[in-house]
């Protein structure tokens, strides 16, 4: 395992919260949340997750998407030894998401390299939790035969901090040694090979099928996938039907979310908890949930 990047003390404290304290924090967050009124656009955005991205690698300069070449890597990424590789398995691979999450940073901190490829030995499924924007977001699970589409972001300390603040319901930790296979050789993009990277993992686990096996997200392609894959619309229909009955569909489910976020989450939590598989990999080393110097974490190991 590589060394931990320095994180803001308040952010580190959040990552180290135990389950009870974390749930209390989430309840407080949801109680204060004001969502826009439900309309068709709310639903369409939810089912479009994880949103549009280039077919291959790219360099992002503010809101401008550039081809990832050695020249752009040197110009945008600078000294990559000063950056950290971070796997993006969901919406963090989309330029629109990165531009939004980095918009408050200084101009030079709005530049990032995104290397597209396949992560071996894992697949990506829906977290057992619906976000305030109505999607079941991505989270990894072990799948030894599978190579799933993913990206490596080469992030600065400020970018890592910005991203981690937004990943409210996720642990962050090192994954490796593992195989990330870029679409083109590293020499063609000017980026190093990666066998260890940071990775976000949902605290809620992966939503499972009726046999208790993790589901995959069909919006994220994979080779040799063994899990059943589902789209966001189908997932929302299932949650709506099984929690509230056949009279409630995915659109009505998200209307309930927009009208009363905290009530919505509390209604869904028991069912979600019964249909969740925790992440379990010996390659995963989460940021400690005890103060530094305390015992090594055992959760999710």
Cα–Cα distance list, 110 to 94, 101, 214 (Å): 14, 9, 35
Residue 283 to residue 11: CA distance in whole angstroms? 24
- Distance between CA atoms of residues 217 and 123, nearest Å: 9
Strand-pairing partners, residue 149, are 118
Q: How far is CA 256 from the centre of its chain?
A: 24
Average pLDDT score, the chain: 94
Q: Give the model's pLDDT for residue 3.
A: 84
- Indicate the DSSP class of residue 76: I
Q: Is residue 107 part of a domain?
A: yes
Answer whether residue 93 is part of any domain.
yes
Task: Identify the DSSP state of 83.
Answer: S
The enclosing domain of 87 has a CATH number of: 3.10.490.10
What number of CA atoms fall less than 13 Å from residue 277's CA on the CB side?
Answer: 21
Q: Cβ–Cβ contacts within 10 Å for residue 8, how many?
A: 11
- Within a domain: 38: yes
Instruction: Say if 248 falls within a structural domain.
Output: yes
pLDDT digits (tens, 9 = 90+) for 146-196: 999 999 999 999 999 999 999 999 999 999 999 999 999 999 999 999 999
Assess if residue 136 is contained within a domain. yes
- Residue 299 belongs to a domain: no
Binned at pLDDT 50, 70 and 90, residue 1 comes out as: low
Q: Between β-strands 229-230 and 216-217, what pairing exists: parallel, antiparallel or unpaired?
A: parallel
Nearest to 118 by CA among 34, 165, 181: 181
How much is the pLDDT for 2? 76
The total number of residues written for the chain in this structure: 301
Q: How many structural domains compose the chain?
A: 1
The helix-helix angle for 250-259 and 261-274 (nearest 10°) equals 130
Give residue 17's pLDDT. 93
User: How deeply is 187 buried, as exposed, middle or buried, from its count of CB atoms within 10 A (0-12, 13-18, 19+)?
Assistant: exposed
Host domain of residue 207:
9-286
Largest Cα–Cα separation, the chain? 56
The verdict on residue 293 lying in a domain is no
**pLDDT tens string 95-143:** 999 999 999 999 999 999 999 999 999 999 999 999 999 999 999 999 9
pLDDT in tens, 68-92: 999 999 999 999 999 999 999 999 9
């Amino acid at each position: 395992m590589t060394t931990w990047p320095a994180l803001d003390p308040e952010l580190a404290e959040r990552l180290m919260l135990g389950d009870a304290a974390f749930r209390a924090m989430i309840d407080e967050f949801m109680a204060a949340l004001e969502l826009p009124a439900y309309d068709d656009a709310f639903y369409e955005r939810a089912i479009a997750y994880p949103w549009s991205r280039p077919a291959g690698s790219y360099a992002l300069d503010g809101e401008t998407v550039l081809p990832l070449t050695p020249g752009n890597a040197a110009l945008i990424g600078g000294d990559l030894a000063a950056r950290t590789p971070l796997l993006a398995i969901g919406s963090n691979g989309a330029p629109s998401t990165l531009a939004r999450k980095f918009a408050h940073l200084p101009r030079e901190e709005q530049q990032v390299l995104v290397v597209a490829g396949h992560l071996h030995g894992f697949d990506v499924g829906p977290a057992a939790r619906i976000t305030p924007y109505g999607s079941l977001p991505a989270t990894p699970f072990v799948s030894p035969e599978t190579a799933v589409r993913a990206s490596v972001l080469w992030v600065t300390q400020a970018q890592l901090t910005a991203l981690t603040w937004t990943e409210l319901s996720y642990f962050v930790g090192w994954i490796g040694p593992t195989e990330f296979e870029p679409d083109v050789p590293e020499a063609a993009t000017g980026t190093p090979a990666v066998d260890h990277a940071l990775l976000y993992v949902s605290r809620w686990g992966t939503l499972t099928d009726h046999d208790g096996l993790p589901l995959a997200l069909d919006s994220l392609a994979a080779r040799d996938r063994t899990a059943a894959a589902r789209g966001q619309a189908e997932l929302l229909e299932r949650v709506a039907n099984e929690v509230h009955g056949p009279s409630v569909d995915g659109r009505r489910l998200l209307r309930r979310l927009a009208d009363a976020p905290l009530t919505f989450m509390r209604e869904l939590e028991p069912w979600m908890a019964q249909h969740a598989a925790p992440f379990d990999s010996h390659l995963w080393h989460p940021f400690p949930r005890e103060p530094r110097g305390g015992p090594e974490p055992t959760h999710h190991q």
